[in-house]
C-alpha cells in the first residue's frame, strides 16, 4: 500500500501520523510505503521587481532569500519529525520518504498552490491512500474543510482520501 501524507505544523498532522502509525506500525505487512509531503511557500519572483527602489532591491532580495531558507528548514524539520514518529510506531525507516516542495504563490492563493502540489504528487505517483488534515495551521473556526482538503477530495481518482481533524 502506498500512502501520501500532506503534512504541516498542525494538530491534524500529528493526529494523522499517529493514526497511520497505529494502523500500519505493528502490522505484519511490510508492504506499506509512506511519502510525507510538505509544501513550503516562496515569494513569487514577480513580487520582487515592481515598485522596489533600486537601492532596496538587493536588501529586499536578501530578506526574501532568508525567509525562504527558514521555511525550508522548518519544512525539513517537520518531515524529519514525521519520519521519526512513524519509525517509532514500527514502520521501517526505508519505507518512509520525505518530499519538500516549494510553492511560489501570492498570499491570497497560497492554499491553492499547496493543494495543487499535493494533487500533482497524488496524480503522478499512483497512491492508494492520500491523507490530509481537515484544517491546517491557518484554520478558521467553523470551517468544515479547508480549501486544500476540499480540492484534494474533488480531484482524487482511484484512491482513498483520509481527512483527519
For each of the chain's 165 residues, which pLDDT tens digit applies?
999 999 999 898 999 999 999 999 876 657 899 999 999 877 655 454 555 555 666 777 787 788 888 989 999 999 999 999 999 999 999 999 999 998 876 655 667 788 889 999 999 898 999 999 876 544 444 444 457 888 898 888 889 999 988
Say how many domains are in the chain.
1
pLDDT at 160: 93
- Of 8, 13, 10, 1, the closest CA to residue 163 belongs to 13
- Owning domain of residue 64: 2-164
pLDDT at 142: 46
The β-bridge partners of 2 are 33
The β-bridge partners of 101 are 39
pLDDT at 68: 83
pLDDT at 67: 81
Strands across the sheet with 96-104, in order? Answer: 96-104, 33-42, 2-6, 129-133, 160-164
pLDDT at 56: 63
pLDDT at 40: 87
> With contact defined as beta carbons under 8 Å apart, do 161 and 132 qualify?
yes
Distance separating alpha carbons of residues 137 and 140, to the nearest angstrom: 9
pLDDT at 18: 94
Distance separating alpha carbons of residues 52 and 92, to the nearest angstrom: 50
Distance separating alpha carbons of residues 36 and 95, to the nearest angstrom: 11
- Of 64, 69, 163, the closest CA to residue 115 belongs to 163
Helices 57-88 & 11-24, crossing angle to 10 degrees? 30
- Here the CATH number for the domain that contains residue 123 is 3.40.50.620
Contacts of 157 (CB under 8 A, 6+ apart): 123
- Of 4, 1, 2, the closest CA to residue 133 belongs to 4
Amino acid at each position: 500500500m502506498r500512502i501520501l501524507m500532506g503534512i504541516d505544523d498542525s494538530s491534524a498532522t500529528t493526529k494523522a501520523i499517529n493514526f497511520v502509525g497505529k494502523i500500519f506500525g505493528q502490522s505484519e505487512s511490510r508492504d506499506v510505503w509512506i511519502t510525507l509531503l510538505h509544501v513550503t511557500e516562496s515569494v513569487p519572483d514577480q513580487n520582487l521587481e515592481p515598485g522596489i527602489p533600486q537601492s532596496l532591491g538587493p536588501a529586499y532580495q536578501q530578506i526574501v532569500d532568508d525567509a525562504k531558507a527558514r521555511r525550508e528548514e522548518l519544512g525539513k524539520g517537520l518531515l524529519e519529525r514525521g519520519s521519526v514518529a512513524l519509525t517509532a510506531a514500527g514502520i521501517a525507516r526505508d519505507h518512509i520518504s520525505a518530499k519538500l516542495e516549494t510553492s511560489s504563490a501570492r498570499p491570497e492563493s497560497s492554499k491553492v498552490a499547496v493543494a495543487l502540489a499535493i494533487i500533482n504528487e497524488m496524480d503522478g505517483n499512483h497512491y492508494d491512500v492520500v491523507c490530509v488534515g481537515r484544517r491546517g495551521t491557518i484554520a478558521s473556526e467553523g470551517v468544515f474543510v479547508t480549501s486544500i482538503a476540499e480540492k484534494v477530495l474533488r480531484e482524487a481518482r482511484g484512491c482513498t482520501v483520509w481527512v483527519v481533524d
